[in-house]
Amino acid sequence: MQNNKTTERKTMKSLLSSSSSSSPGLRKPRLSPYLFSLLTFILFVAILYGEDFMCIFGRQLQLGPVDSERPFSRTVKKREKLPFAVGKTPEGCDVFSGRWVRDESNRPLYEESECPYIQPQLTCLEHGRPEKEYQYWRWQPHGCDLPRFNATLMLETLRGKRMMYIGDSLNRGQYVSMICLLHSLIPEDQKSMETFGSLTVFTAKEYNATIEFYWAPFLLESNSDDAVIHRVSDRIVRKGSINKHGKHWKGVDIAVFNTYLWWMTGLKMKILLGSFDDEVKDIVELTTEDAYRMAMKSMLRWVRLNMDPKKTRVFFTSMSPSHAKSIDWGGVEGGNCYNETTIIEDPAYWGSDCRKSVMEVIGEVFGKSKVPITFLNITQLSNYRKDAHTSIYKKQWNPLTPEQLANPVSYADCVHWCLPGLQDTWNELLFAKLFYP
């Protein structure tokens, strides 16, 4: 964070100094002394509060009713109906702005034990979570109600179609949530789930429908692309390489992208300019934000060239927050999501694990683009859910050491989410945006 601020300030400073030196004696005489000192003051404040200025600017870009409520494109406004739409969300209602309410009669939307597709990293009850408080929360937007998730409508819509989630393990969680929301409507002998390398395909046979997940944690080609062995210490992403994976996404009717966590190395990102086969690799280092911007632009370009806006819908899910430091929410030093069973009540809460600057990059790139992508802004609503992570209640691939066992905080997973749980809400929001845009 601190580093970002310094860089942004530096950039602003250099921008400012270059522009003032390019027009030396010309402008000054025209400005009244008063105006000149006012300008100087504004520039001074801008330098001092560089990041906040960016924030305010970013928000203005984002929060206009058009941008927050529709895909980031003005052209969409003129189109009478988006594909698959059956209704409309009330004018001016931002479904991502709201609060969590307890709802024991309508939640969870399915039982953990009734959905065999949940991977053992996400079955918290099976792995000993002692309570299921996290399952009883419903998202309530401030301005309207979310439409009820209608599995029949979703499955009928997918008849003869392909839906694909593309991204990292968090997107895989949302993918599995969608299958859990739908599978009970499909008889046992009519459904299957198979994995082919990076691609996992759930098939609903009599519907001739597939719901797929494609592992591409950076969307672009990287050295972390192996769907099983992808934990490499030194991550490298190849510039301009989206087609390497993108060729496997062609022809889908509904695409749901995400990418975030893998960019958060805490270091600069290594970007490969040539090919992974080059003996001497041509690598440049970019800030996380610049590298992420590059990926966003590649994704939008891919969508523009490969998806037909008259027949398909494309979604992008924003950053999934982690809860690795309990001091963020006023907890004890050294704690994390382990043993958390309540939500965060402070509406303004924003943890230290989630970078606002990355959200701003998304806003900036999408804001400029005419490609109709619907933004699923799940970051803030998930920020409140420190209780919803898998924590220690998941399959461990390696046996835990006595030291770890003595200190559960040390091995709690505060990144991924239990199912059923928070990610069902992400799909309820996807459902809302798909059918009631």
Is residue 152 involved in binding ligand NAG (CB under 6 A)?
yes
State which of residues 314, 359, 373, 388 lies at the interface with ligand NAG (CB under 6 A).
Answer: 359
Cβ within 8 Å of residue 410, ≥6 positions away: 403, 404
Q: Give the residue nearest to ligand NAG (CB).
A: 97
Enumerate residues 371-430 that contact ligand NAG by CB under 6 A. 377, 380
For ligand NAG, the closer of residues 28 and 81 by Cβ is 81
Q: Which stretch binds ligand NAG (CB under 6 A): 91-99, 254-262, 411-419, 424-432?
A: 91-99
Q: Is 169 a catalytic residue?
A: yes
Q: How many residues does the structure list for the chain?
A: 437
Write down the least CB distance from residue 126 to ligand NAG, Å.
20
Of residues 169, 298, 320, 391, which has the active-site annotation? Answer: 169
What angle (nearest 5°) sits at the alpha carbon of residue 170, between those of residues 295 and 1? 60
Of residues 168, 253, 413, 424, which has the active-site annotation? Answer: 413
C-beta separation of 298 from 219 below 8 A: yes
Is residue 162 involved in binding ligand NAG (CB under 6 A)?
yes
Helices (H), 125-168: 151-157
Phi, psi torsion values for 178, nearest 5 degrees: -60, -40
Q: Within a 10 A sphere around the Cβ of 179, how many other Cβ atoms?
A: 21
Using the 8-state DSSP alphabet, how is residue 367 labeled? H
**CA 37 vs CA 19, 21, 47, 52: distances in Å:** 17, 17, 15, 22
Strand, helix or coil for residue 234: coil
Dihedral sign (CA 348, 349, 352, 354): negative
337 residue type, one letter: C
Q: Which stretch binds ligand NAG (CB under 6 A): 157-165, 238-246, 255-263, 321-329?
A: 157-165
268 residue type, one letter: K
Q: Which x/- pattern over 21-60 shows residues binding ligand NAG (rule: CB under 6 A)? A: --------------------------------------x-
Write down the least CB distance from residue 115 to ligand NAG, Å.
20
Is residue 192 involved in binding ligand NAG (CB under 6 A)?
no
For ligand NAG, the closer of residues 62 and 298 by Cβ is 62
Cβ within 8 Å of residue 362, ≥6 positions away: 296, 316, 318, 375
Enumerate residues 111-150 that contact ligand NAG by CB under 6 A. 150
Which residues form the catalytic set? Answer: 169, 413, 416
Where along the sequence are the contacts to ligand NAG (CB under 6 A)? 59, 62-63, 68, 94, 96-97, 150, 152-153, 156, 160-162, 208, 339, 359, 363, 377, 380
